[in-house]
Amino acid sequence: TLLDPDRVVLKGFSMGGAGAWHLAVHYPGRWYAANPGAGFSETPDFLRSFQQEDLKPMWWEQKLWHLYDCPDWAVNLRHCPTVAYSGDEDSQKQAADIMETALTKENIRLLHVIGPKTKHSYHPQSRDEVERRMTSLAVRGRERVPTHVQFVTYTLKYNQMAWATIDELGQH
């Protein structure tokens, strides 16, 4: 069986959802779409709300969060259609809520399917809705050569979107 490079999807739930958020914003040109479920998308609010931690990070910790946390990279999802999933009673819904706020600032609408009366699992009808949306996006496939690229990076580790490659930064 041959793999169609224009129909590779990124999906994950819980810890996999965190990975899906991370990979989608850092490598947006590799997928036709992303489907993060639950997980987390950034460090400070997750640690405060989900783990009830009293945060007193050092300056360098906050700087390093910036490399991993997804909201500052949200504009990259302009090139990676994203269908988020959360249960309405799941405390990890905060990941998609935070990303929705970050995407709204970039004039990007996040499709967020929410399972009613659901904790940390997939609601059956919501799973069907997510699959319907993802199948619809697969028909179109990945936009291999976009005419316009909007992309942000703060490190050369994540330096590529479609045909654009960043080879140097004024500050890394």
d(CA 37, CA 33): 13
Q: Return the residue matching tokens 């640690």.
A: 47
Asked if 122 and 90 touch (Cβ cutoff 8 Å), the reply is no
Amino acid at 100: E
Rounded to two decimals, what is the model's pTM? 0.93
- Tokens for 41, please give them: 């998308």
Task: Give the span between the Cα atoms of 119 and 117, in whole angstroms.
Answer: 7
* DSSP code of residue 82: B
Per-residue pLDDT of the chain (172 residues; tens, 9 = 90+): 678 999 999 999 999 999 999 999 999 999 999 999 998 899 888 878 777 788 888 999 888 888 889 999 999 999 999 999 999 999 999 999 999 999 999 999 999 999 999 999 999 999 999 999 999 999 999 998 999 999 999 999 999 998 899 999 998 7
CB neighbour class for 72 (10 Å; exposed up to 12, middle 13-18, buried from 19): middle
Give pLDDT, residue 107.
97
Strands of the sheet with 111-115, listed across from one edge: 9-13, 33-37, 83-87, 111-115
Q: Are 24 and 34 in contact (CB under 8 A)?
A: yes
Q: Which residues contact 168 (CB under 8 A, 6 or more apart)?
A: 156
